[in-house]
Every structure is written in structure tokens, then in C-alpha cells.
């Protein structure tokens, strides 16, 4: 609980600091320009130069005070021209125009090119000099000059501090919970309806004397959904061995097939019935999506399994499989992290594990410290997000001001 | 007249199926397939069309292109294959017409291998005949396909020339006048991705629009559209979802630029059969539920 | 009549229709070249044959469907193999590796490319192929480790920013839009899409949906009491979302059907 409070306070202070930054940042409205003047406008003042932060070393931030004739005085300023050179005494022809901004603007980010043969090349770690002119209609002021300044590449991108904070928070939570799980502390995971139905479904298959079909989807051994499905496969294999019924596991990937064979064999061994394991119950079909579906559909129609379990990574074939299972009269339990396929499983199957529930099921059944720890860390991160959204929205409602419009998008410099 | 004939034929058939369902008879699924096919066929033959009004999510894309100053730089990425083409090709063609009509500079590219050939079809069938004055290298250019999925976006967000040393025709980018002031994607005024898979609109948002703070719009196949709604309106300025989105955009295009009225807007034509098919599917859902609740009530009574 | 005989008769009828269609399409071709007309006539007729073969599965599995599916699988495998070579090897590797190779394949040579460094990913790619050889298959784990690590690192910050931080930020929506008091709200209540009532309702739906959806996916607490109610609301909202997603997918599939039927009636039968 204290972790939640600590992290909530961290997030709240983070967001409030952004709120303060948002309130203090302001932009002056642009002034109006006058008609054709007879004299050049007054130059801008207090020209300051510094390295542009969060870049690769080819940028300079140029800032100045507005010309007295910008929106006031003679009101003759239309724009500002910014020039750059390698020497303060270079002739005018060697001063490169870096950019132009309209009246009322007090800064310019000069982002030059990285390639030395480019016209707009801005070298790093080299002395650079700048001139800023206030430009009127056909005339321009005396230059405000400054320099030298050097551009450096930065090791750290301060705009990504929110990501860093969240990564650190998540890392702390994950390590903490994995250690707790390793020490044997019971980490509660709520029961999931789909997983509880598996035992019942296996019992039904035993009564009917029909096999169980377990489909791992069309993912590879590297897909998270497939990895989660392996854990559940092991549990199902153990139950199948205990109940002395049979199972069919068609695979789309040879590596997945290899791992599935080992998992099922281990499940049978855990149940004390290694002799009952049949090598050809876990087999490779094809690596193509729709031929695989055609083969599995054929198996469902011929073998008429009592229970179909679809857990893993599925795409468009999900509805084809589920509908064929309905025609065969099987109980169907499905789960995938592909949000676009969940509606089809929900419609056609008896139980569906939605998205993250598949990973939770894997942690719930396997009770491995790594799985449990990451699941709990994700839960706490969700809780932080919930609390942040609720608290900051409440703040917005009661203060009435739109001060937290983009709390995580403000620049940190 | 076509609407009346379709309504009589399809309506009559549906009433017959409702009667069978109430009597407790099973309706073969092949009858359902036949009905949907017949509905679509009748609607196509009788050219049923309905009016479309652009919703805010589509209008925002239209307004963005409409209000950009002439000469703005817009990237249009063809990220789809022929399987998705009936849905998203009309969007892409509508974008081409609108962008060139407003005299913006159009940069074509593709993250899908099949996108390049579909892009060539659009260039030959739409761009060249309807915009004969548009000059290659000045008003539009074709960068072609590059393998690497989001890796391509990771590079072009800082340097175009590193990933595309030349365009699809072998011309160096420096030889094209429209690339004079273009260093990377960050110099673009708008990014548009048309597609429905991976890489697609989501990758453009994640790897180009969001990190580069560049305005991004999408045209997506209907299957992927619900997953993209969370990105609107902050990370995506607008989104065209499926045939409906394409039809809305075409309707807005015709309203604002009437010269395209005779160009045979395919999405608007498709919405007629689409609507009729949806009505039939809704009717089947209602019939199915009526039959289900009747059989449940009969079961309780017995 | 046995099924074999029926199949033979059906095949003969299909072949006859195919021939008639080919002849008629070739005859009605618009090109001056006879060869072009014959070729285009064959292509359209063959496309129609494949389309109808796939559709025939809706009735029953049959040899025509099996033929069309096998053809599709085989051609796509061959197509992607060739395209993979031309787009990845010739498109990405050759322009950076060798001037003479670039000239051979007619691709522009990149003068400023890292000519030596390009061989590092090439070596990793070749090591990946050792998966096929059981004795040295363990070497491929190095390439896999690099791929997984690099992808995870690249994607972590992007997905964290776009799919988490930005979404949390996007959830800070005003729950009372243009609020000037209850009286003003009641006086101006309307169902207009851009009206205050719809804007407030939409924002509340988003807020409640996000909160309750997150509660549903919370696994550390049993869903009882107020928590259970919120979870229930969450799953209802999820189901509505799935319904909308299902509807969108149905729309997508119908669009493809419309496209195919337009092809059949337009390009083949010329009745549009």
C-alpha cells in the first residue's frame, strides 16, 4: 500500500510541476505592422545564443528581445532575419541566412544540416556567430550580433523523461514482486472463468469418450501469446493424462511443435502416466495460415472433439475455426491478445479470455515467479494510471482551469 | 424502381425465413449466404446509391488538406495489398485528387511490397489522365517501396536520402526540384498512410507522427479502424474508416470541388450495396433472436 | 449417377463455359492487337474462374476450391521469395555493398554508405540460417537475441509514449464542456452532434469506459462490491466495443464482396 501512495505522490508532483510550467508558459500576441516606413526599424536587443538541447549537435537556440519598433514605437517591424557565420568579421556574402520569423517572435531554433557538403551545414564544436536583423518593408535594422557559440550533441534527451520515470517505476515494481514471488509470498491473482471451465470441459470429454483439440494459434515460439499458451497446455496435458482421455495438438510452426511435444510429454510425466503419451498427438501441419485452418477444420469435422481450446496468436482464421467447432458441437474455450479477433471468439465460443487475461491465466496456472511478478507490476502500473487520471481530472473539475491539457508533452528545459 | 424491386424480392425472402424460423425449422446457412450475395448483386445492378455526409473524424482530414497553403508537402503512403484494395484504393485516389487540386506537393511511397504496383495503377488511372499539367519531380514524385517496415520510418524521420537515395525511377532525390527544401519527414506538412495491416497507420503514428510532431492522418481498412480510434484526435488528426470513410470523403470532395462529380466515385457507389447488405444482416440477427427466444419460451413451457 | 461421374460432367461444363467466356472476351477486346485481346480475355476469364472456385466453398468443399487455394498458396510463396530478394537484397544490400554489383542490378550506388559496416547485419542474417542445421543451430540464438533486444528497445519508448503516456494524457478530457451552470445547460439541451449535451455525454462515456475497463483488467483484487460493479460496467463497455469492431469487420468483408461482384458483373459480364 505504501508503494502505491509513494508512487501516486511522485506522479502527482510530476503532473503538478507540469501544470505550473503550463501556466507560466505564455505567448505574446503578435503586434500589428504599420504601413511603409521611411526609416529602418530599431534592432532587436539582448541577443543570446546557446546550444540546442536534445539534439545531435547541429542546432543552436537563438533568442532576442523584441525590437522597440515591434508592435510599438514606429510599428515598422515585419519579420526578423537570422544569419550565421564562422567568423564575426566575415564579409556579408559569407553570412548564411539561417531563417526568418514573423514579428512578435523572440526565438529561433537553427537546426542545420549534418552533411558537410550541404549548403546548410552547421558544424558541431565549432565557433559560430549570429546576427539578427529586424526587417521592415524594404529596409532592415542594424544587426544585433552575438557569439561565439558552439553546438554539442547531447547524451540525454530530456523530452523523454516521462518515459524514463515510468520505466524506472515499472522496473522497481517488477523486481520487487518477482523477489516476493521467489520468497514464496502468495501473490493473489483473481480466478478466471475460462480457466476454471477447462477442468469441466476435460471432464466432459472423458465422459463422452472424445478427444480434446488444443490449438496454439499461428504464432511463432517468440510470440508472447504462444508462450503463455504453452503454460496452459502443460496444465491441460496433465489433466488429460489424469482423466485418461486423449488430446490433439496441430501446430503451424516446427519450433512450436517441438516445444509443444516437450510440454505435453512433461504434463503426462507429472501425472504419473508417461507411457500414455502418444508422439503423434502433437504434430506439424503446414506453415501457411489458411491451409493450416483447412486442415484443423477437417480434423474437427472428422474427429468431433468434445472440447476445443484455442489459446494463442490468431488472425483472420479465428472465426473459421470457432464456427467449425460450433458445427461439430464442441465446447470451446478461446483466448488471444489480438483485439481484432476477440469479437469472433466472444460470439462463437463458450468462454473467452480477453487480451491480458491470457497472460494472467498463464501466471495463475503456472505460478512462476517471473510471470507472477510481471503481472503484479502491470497491475500496479494500471492502478497508478487510474489514480493519476482520476486525481488530475478531479483537479481540473474543481479548479475549473485547463491547466493540465498536456502534462507529459511539455519540454523539460 | 430498383430499390422497390430489391425491397420486394429481399423483403419477401426475409419474411419467408422469419416464418420458417417461427415454425421452428432450421435455416441452412447457405440460404443466408445466398441472400447476402443476391442483395449485393441486386443493389449493384440497380445502382442503388445513398447520400453521404462527412463525420467530424473524416471532415478533419478534408479540412486540413483544404486549408493548407498551396505548395504544402504531403506524404501519401500506400500500405496495402490487393486484398484490401477495394476498400482503401478509393480513399487513396480521393486523396490524390484533392491534394493535386489544391496544388500541394505530393510525395508517394510505400511500406508494403504490393503497394508499389497499386500505386502505379493509381498514377496511370487517376493522376496522369486527370492532372495532365502535374509535373513529375515538381508536383509529385514516387519514392517507391522500401523493405524494413517501421525501420524505414525510423530512418526517414531524420534523413530521407539515407533510406531513399533515389526515387522509384532511379532519379536522385537531389535532382527533383520538390526535394530542394526537404531533408526528412519533419519537413512535411502532413503524413497520410492508407492501409490496414502492419506496417500501417499505427506505425506511422508511433514512429513518425508522434515522435516527429508531424500532423498525421490515416485511411484504414474497416478491420483495423476500431484499434486506431484511441489515437484520434491528438495523435491522428483524422481517420477514414473503411468504405464508409472513403464514401464520406468522396462526398465532401464532390461538394467542394464539383468537377470530380463525373469521375465515378467507387466508394459512394459501393455504399448502396453495403447498406442493403447490412440491412439484411440486421434482419437475420433479429430473425435469429426471435427464433431463439421462441424456442427458449417453448422449452420453459414444456 | 456416381459422384465421380457427376464431377466429370461438372468439370466438362466448367471447361466449356471457360472456353466460351474466353472466346467472347477476346472478341470484345478494345485493343488493335489480337494477341493482347486474347491474352486479356484469358486473364479476365481465369480470374472469374478462380473467384467462383473460391466462392464454391460456401456450398461445399470441392476440387475447384482446392485447386484455387493451392494455386494461391504456391504463387504467393514464389512471389514473396522473388520480391524478398529484389527488395531486401538488391534494394538494401547491393547499393551499399559494391559499385559493380549496383551497376549490374541497375540500382544507384550509395557513395556515402557504410560499406564495411553493412556486412555486420549480413553476417548476422547468415548466422540466422543456421537454425536449419541441428548441429550448429545454437548459433542462431545470437542473431535472435540481437533482433529481439533491438526490437524491444526500439519499441519500448515508442509504445510507452504513444500507447500509454499519450493515452493517459488524452484521458484528461473536460467532463463539463462550456459549463455555465445547470440552468444554461437545461435551456440549451439538444441532440446536435456538436452540441454541449453530446459533448459532455461523449466525454463521460470515455471517462467511465477507460476507468471501468482498467478496473476489469485488474487481477490483484477479487471483483466484489463496488469494484465488482465497476468491473461489470467495464466488461459491458468492452462488449459494446467488440460489437462495434465486429460490425466494422463485417463492413470490411462486405466491401470485398461488393468489389468481387462488381468485377464479375462489370469486367466479365459487362452489364454495368
Q: Would an 8 Å CB–CB cutoff place C78 in contact with chain B?
A: no
Q: Are C154 and A376 in contact (CB under 8 A)?
A: no
Tell me whether residue C82 is in a domain. Answer: no
Contacts of A187 in chain C (CB under 8 A): 220
Tell me whether residue C206 is in a domain. Answer: yes
| pLDDT confidence of residue A26 | 38
Of C59, C159, C251, the CB nearest to B242: C251
Tell me whether residue A393 is in a domain. Answer: no
Hey, which residues does B180 pair with through a beta bridge? none
| Domain ranges, residue C38 | 3-60
Contacts of C242 in chain A (CB under 8 A): 342-343, 346
Residue window 195-234, chain A: list those with CB within 8 Å of chain C. 222
Q: Would an 8 Å CB–CB cutoff place C4 in contact with chain B?
A: no
List of residues 6+ apart from B209 with CB closer than 8 A: B191, B215, B216, B235, B236
The percentage of residues in chain A with a pLDDT greater than 70, rounded to a whole number, is 87
Of C170, C248, C255, the CB nearest to B234: C170
| pLDDT confidence of residue C239 | 92
- Between strands A59-65 and A45-51, the pairing is antiparallel
Of B159, B183, B227, the CB nearest to A339: B227
Hey, which residues does A212 pair with through a beta bridge? A247, A307
| pLDDT confidence of residue A2 | 52
Tell me whether residue A27 is in a domain. Answer: no
Cell numbers placing B151: 525501420
Residue window 246-285, chain B: list those with CB within 8 Å of chain C. 270, 273-274, 277-278, 281
Tell me if A340 and B183 make a contact (CB, 8 A cut-off).
no
Of A291, A294, A389, the CB nearest to C171: A389
For residue C26, give the nearest of C40, C47, C15, C43 by alpha carbon: C40
Is C141 strand, coil or helix?
A: helix
Tell me whether residue C162 is in a domain. Answer: no
Whether residues A141 and A225 share a domain: the answer is: no
Q: Would an 8 Å CB–CB cutoff place A105 in contact with chain C?
A: no
Locus of grid cell 516437450: A262
* Listed residues A89, A116, A149: the one ending a domain: A149
Of B86, B210, B221, the CB nearest to C161: B210
Best to test chain C binding among B111, B210, B211, B222 (most C CBs inside 10 Å): B222
Q: How high does pLDDT run on average in chain C?
A: 86
| Domain ranges, residue A242 | 193-367
| Distance separating alpha carbons of residues A87 and A64, to the nearest angstrom | 20
Q: What is the total count of domains within chain A?
A: 2
Backbone dihedral angles phi then psi of residue A313, each to the nearest 5 degrees:
-100, 115
pLDDT < 70 stretches in chain C? 1, 112-114
Q: Is the pTM of the predicted complex or chain greater than 0.80?
A: no
Q: Would an 8 Å CB–CB cutoff place C245 in contact with chain B?
A: yes
| Distance separating alpha carbons of residues A228 and C217, to the nearest angstrom | 17
Each residue of C237-254: pLDDT tens digit? 999 999 988 898 888 889
Q: At what angle do helices A289-303 and A317-328 cross, to 10 degrees?
A: 10
Tell me if A379 and C219 make a contact (CB, 8 A cut-off).
yes
Q: Would an 8 Å CB–CB cutoff place B234 in contact with chain C?
A: yes
3-state helix, strand, coil in chain A (%, to 5): 45, 20, 35
| Distance separating alpha carbons of residues A112 and A119, to the nearest angstrom | 9
Q: Would an 8 Å CB–CB cutoff place B170 in contact with chain C?
A: yes
Contacts of B227 in chain A (CB under 8 A): 339-340
For residue A238, give the nearest of A205, A210, A209, A271 by alpha carbon: A271
Hey, which residues does B145 pair with through a beta bridge? B110
> How far C257 CA sits from the closest chain B CA (Å)?
8
| Distance separating alpha carbons of residues B117 and C72, to the nearest angstrom | 18
Q: Average pLDDT, stretch B54-72?
A: 94
| Distance separating alpha carbons of residues A3 and B292, to the nearest angstrom | 51
Of C144, C210, C249, the CB nearest to A389: C210
* Listed residues C60, C77, C104: the one ending a domain: C60
Cell numbers placing C53: 472456385
- Characterise C225 by phi-psi region: left (phi > 0), alpha (psi -120 to 50), beta (else): left
Q: Domain holding A139: CATH number?
A: 2.60.40.10
Tell me whether residue A404 is in a domain. Answer: no
Contacts of B154 in chain C (CB under 8 A): 154
| pLDDT tens series, chain A, 413 aa | 555 555 555 555 444 444 443 333 333 333 444 445 568 888 898 999 999 988 888 899 999 999 998 888 888 888 999 999 999 888 888 898 888 898 889 999 888 877 777 777 888 899 999 999 999 888 888 888 898 999 998 898 888 888 888 889 889 999 999 999 999 888 888 888 888 888 888 888 999 999 999 999 998 887 888 988 998 999 999 999 999 899 999 999 888 888 899 899 999 999 999 999 998 999 998 877 877 888 898 889 888 999 999 999 998 889 889 999 998 899 999 999 888 899 999 999 999 999 889 989 888 888 888 888 989 999 998 898 888 888 877 777 777 655 555 444 444 32
Cell numbers placing C7: 464431377
Each residue of B164-215: pLDDT tens digit? 888 888 888 888 999 988 888 989 999 999 998 888 999 999 899 988 889 9
Contacts of C170 in chain B (CB under 8 A): 230, 234-235
Q: Are B107 and B141 in contact (CB under 8 A)?
A: yes
Chains adjacent to A (≥3 CB pairs closer than 8 angstroms):
B, C
Q: Are A226 and A257 in contact (CB under 8 A)?
A: no
Four-way CATH pick for B56-264: 3.40.50.10160, 3.40.47.10, 3.40.190.10, 3.40.50.300: 3.40.50.10160
* Listed residues A116, A149, A182: the one ending a domain: A149
Each residue of C114-156: pLDDT tens digit? 678 888 888 998 898 887 787 888 888 888 888 888 888 877 8
Tell me if B147 and C159 make a contact (CB, 8 A cut-off).
no
Tell me whether residue C147 is in a domain. Answer: no
* Listed residues C60, C84, C108: the one ending a domain: C60
| Distance separating alpha carbons of residues C43 and C22, to the nearest angstrom | 9
Q: Would an 8 Å CB–CB cutoff place B226 in contact with chain A?
A: yes
Q: Would an 8 Å CB–CB cutoff place A311 in contact with chain C?
A: no
Residue window 145-184, chain B: list those with CB within 8 Å of chain A. 159, 183
> How far C188 CA sits from the closest chain A CA (Å)?
21
Q: Would an 8 Å CB–CB cutoff place B165 in contact with chain C?
A: yes
* B302, burial (CB in 10 Å: exposed 0-12, middle 13-18, buried 19+): exposed
* A294, burial (CB in 10 Å: exposed 0-12, middle 13-18, buried 19+): buried
Domain boundaries of chain B, sorted by first residue: 2-48+268-301, 56-264
Tell me if C164 and A385 make a contact (CB, 8 A cut-off).
yes
Contacts of A340 in chain C (CB under 8 A): 245, 249
CA distances from C31 to B125, C25, C192, C268, C270 (A): 17, 12, 55, 16, 17
Whether residues A104 and A197 share a domain: the answer is: no
Tell me whether residue A90 is in a domain. Answer: yes
Amino acid at each position: 500500500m505504501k508503494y502505491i501512495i509513494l508512487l501516486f505522490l511522485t506522479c502527482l508532483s510530476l503532473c503538478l510541476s507540469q501544470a505550473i510550467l503550463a501556466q507560466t508558459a505564455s505567448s505574446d500576441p503578435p503586434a500589428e505592422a504599420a504601413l511603409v516606413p521611411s526609416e529602418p526599424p530599431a534592432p532587436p536587443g539582448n541577443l543570446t545564443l546557446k546550444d540546442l538541447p536534445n539534439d545531435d549537435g547541429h542546432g543552436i537556440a537563438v533568442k532576442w528581445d523584441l525590437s522597440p519598433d515591434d508592435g510599438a514605437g514606429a510599428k515598422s517591424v515585419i519579420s526578423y532575419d537570422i544569419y550565421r557565420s564562422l567568423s564575426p568579421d566575415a564579409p556579408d556574402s559569407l553570412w548564411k541566412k539561417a531563417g526568418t520569423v514573423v514579428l512578435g517572435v523572440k526565438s529561433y531554433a537553427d537546426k542545420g544540416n549534418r552533411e558537410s557538403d550541404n549548403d546548410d551545414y552547421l558544424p558541431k564544436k565549432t565557433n559560430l556567430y549570429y546576427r539578427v536583423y529586424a526587417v521592415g518593408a524594404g529596409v532592415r535594422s542594424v544587426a544585433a550580433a552575438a557569439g561565439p557559440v558552439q553546438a554539442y550533441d547531447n547524451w540525454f534527451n530530456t523530452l523523454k523523461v516521462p518515459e524514463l520515470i515510468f520505466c524506472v517505476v515499472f522496473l522497481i515494481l517488477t523486481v520487487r514482486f518477482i523477489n516476493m514471488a521467489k520468497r514464496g509470498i502468495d501473490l493473489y491473482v483473481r480466478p478466471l472463468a475460462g480457466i476454471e471451465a477447462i477442468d469441466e470441459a476435460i471432464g466432459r470429454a472423458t465422459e463422452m469418450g472424445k478427444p480434446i483439440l488444443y490449438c496454439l494459434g499461428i504464432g511463432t515460439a517468440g510470440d508472447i501469446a504462444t508462450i503463455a499458451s504453452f503454460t496452459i497446455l502443460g496444465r491441460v496435458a496433465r489433466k488429460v493424462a489424469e482423466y485418461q482421455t486423449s488430446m490433439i495438438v496441430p501446430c503451424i510452426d516446427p519450433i512450436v511443435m517441438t516445444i509443444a511435444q516437450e510440454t505435453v510429454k512433461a504434463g503426462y510425466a507429472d501425472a504419473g502416466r508417461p507411457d500414455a503419451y502418444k508422439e503423434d498427438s502433437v504434430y506439424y501441419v503446414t506453415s501457411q495460415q489458411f491451409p493450416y485452418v483447412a486442415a484443423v477444420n477437417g480434423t474437427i469435422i472428422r474427429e468431433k472433439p468434445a472440447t476445443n481450446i484455442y489459446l494463442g496468436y490468431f488472425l483472420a482464421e479465428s472465426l473459421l475455426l470457432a464456427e467449425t467447432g460450433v458445427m461439430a458441437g464442441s465446447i470451446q474455450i478461446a483466448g488471444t491478445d489480438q483485439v481484432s479477433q476477440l469479437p469472433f471468439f466472444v460470439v462463437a465460443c463458450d468462454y473467452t479470455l480477453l487480451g491480458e487475461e491470457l497472460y494472467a491465466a498463464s501466471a495463475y496456472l503456472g505460478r512462476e515467479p517471473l510471470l507472477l511478478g510481471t503481472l503484479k507490476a502491470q497491475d500496479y502500473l494500471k492502478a497508478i494510471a487510474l489514480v493519476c487520471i482520476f486525481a488530475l481530472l478531479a483537479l481540473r473539475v474543481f479548479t475549473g482551469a485547463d491547466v493540465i491539457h498536456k502534462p507529459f508533452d511539455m519540454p523539460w528545459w | 424502381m430498383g430499390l422497390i424491386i430489391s425491397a420486394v424480392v429481399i423483403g419477401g425472402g426475409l419474411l419467408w425465413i422469419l416464418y420458417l424460423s417461427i415454425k421452428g425449422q432450421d435455416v441452412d446457412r447457405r440460404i443466408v449466404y445466398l441472400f447476402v450475395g443476391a442483395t449485393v448483386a441486386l443493389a449493384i445492378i440497380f445502382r442503388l446509391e445513398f447520400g453521404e455526409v462527412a463525420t467530424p473524424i473524416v471532415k478533419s482530414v478534408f479540412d486540413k488538406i483544404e486549408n493548407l497553403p498551396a505548395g504544402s508537402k504531403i506524404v501519401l503512403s500506400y500500405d496495402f495489398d490487393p486484398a484490401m484494395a477495394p476498400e482503401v484504393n478509393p480513399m487513396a485516389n480521393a486523396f490524390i485528387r484533392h491534394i493535386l487540386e489544391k496544388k500541394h506537393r505530393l510525395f508517394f511511397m510505400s511500406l508494403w511490397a504490393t503497394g508499389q504496383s497499386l500505386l502505379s495503377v493509381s498514377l496511370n488511372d487517376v493522376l496522369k489522365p486527370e492532372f495532365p499539367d502535374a509535373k513529375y519531380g515538381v508536383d509529385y514524385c514516387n519514392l517507391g517501396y522500401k523493405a524494413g517496415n517501421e525501420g524505414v520510418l525510423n530512418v526517414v524521420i531524420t534523413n530521407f536520402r539515407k533510406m531513399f537515395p533515389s526515387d522509384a525511377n532511379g532519379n536522385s532525390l537531389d535532382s527533383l526540384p520538390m526535394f530542394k527544401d526537404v531533408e526528412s519527414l519533419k519537413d512535411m506538412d502532413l503524413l497520410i498512410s492508407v492501409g490496414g495491416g502492419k506496417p500501417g497507420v499505427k506505425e506511422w503514428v508511433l514512429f513518425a507522427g508522434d515522435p516527429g510532431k508531424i500532423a498525421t492522418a490515416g485511411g484504414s481498412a474497416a478491420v483495423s479502424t476500431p484499434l486506431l480510434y484511441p489515437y484520434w484526435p491528438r495523435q491522428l488528426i483524422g481517420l477514414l474508416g473503411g468504405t464508409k470513410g472513403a464514401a464520406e470523403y468522396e462526398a465532401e470532395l464532390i461538394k467542394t470541388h464539383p468537377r470530380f462529380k463525373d469521375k465515378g466515385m467507387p466508394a459512394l457507389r459501393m455504399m448502396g450495396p453495403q447498406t442493403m447488405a447490412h440491412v439484411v444482416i440486421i434482419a437475420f440477427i433479429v430473425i435469429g433472436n426471435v427464433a431463439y427466444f421462441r424456442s427458449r419460451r417453448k422449452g420453459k413451457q414444456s | 449417377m456416381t459422384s465421380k461421374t457427376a464431377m466429370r460432367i461438372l468439370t466438362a461444363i466448367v471447361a466449356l463455359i471457360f472456353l466460351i467466356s474466353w472466346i467472347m472476351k477476346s472478341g470484345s477486346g478494345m485493343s488493335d492487337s489480337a494477341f493482347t485481346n486474347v491474352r486479356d480475355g484469358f486473364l479476365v476469364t481465369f480470374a472469374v474462374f478462380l473467384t467462383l472456385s473460391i466462392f464454391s466453398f460456401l456450398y461445399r468443399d470441392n476440387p475447384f476450391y482446392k485447386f484455387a487455394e493451392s494455386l494461391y498458396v504456391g504463387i504467393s510463396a514464389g512471389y514473396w521469395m522473388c520480391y524478398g530478394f529484389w527488395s531486401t537484397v538488391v534494394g538494401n544490400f547491393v547499393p551499399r555493398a559494391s559499385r559493380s554489383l549496383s551497376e549490374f542490378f541497375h540500382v544507384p550506388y550509395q557513395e556515402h554508405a557504410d560499406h564495411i559496416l553493412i556486412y555486420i547485419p549480413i553476417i548476422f542474417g547468415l548466422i540466422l540460417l543456421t537454425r536449419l542445421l541441428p548441429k550448429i543451430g545454437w548459433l542462431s540464438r545470437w542473431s535472435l537475441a540481437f533482433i529481439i533486444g533491438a526490437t524491444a528497445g526500439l519499441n519500448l519508448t515508442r509504445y510507452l509514449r504513444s500507447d500509454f503516456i499519450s493515452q493517459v494524457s488524452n484521458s484528461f478530457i473536460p467532463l463539463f464542456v462550456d459549463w455555465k451552470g445547470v440552468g444554461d445547460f437545461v435551456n440549451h439541451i439538444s441532440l446536435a452532434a456538436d452540441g454541449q449535451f453530446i459533448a459532455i455525454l461523449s466525454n463521460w462515456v470515455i471517462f467511465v469506459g477507460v476507468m471501468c475497463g482498467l478496473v476489469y483488467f485488474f487481477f490483484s483484487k477479487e471483483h466484489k462490491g463496488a469494484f465488482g460493479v465497476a468491473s461489470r460496467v467495464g466488461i459491458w463497455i468492452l462488449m459494446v466495443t467488440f460489437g462495434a469492431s465486429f460490425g466494422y469487420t463485417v463492413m470490411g468483408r462486405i466491401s470485398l464482396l461488393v468489389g468481387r461482384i462488381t468485377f464479375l458483373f462489370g469486367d466479365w459480364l459487362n452489364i454495368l
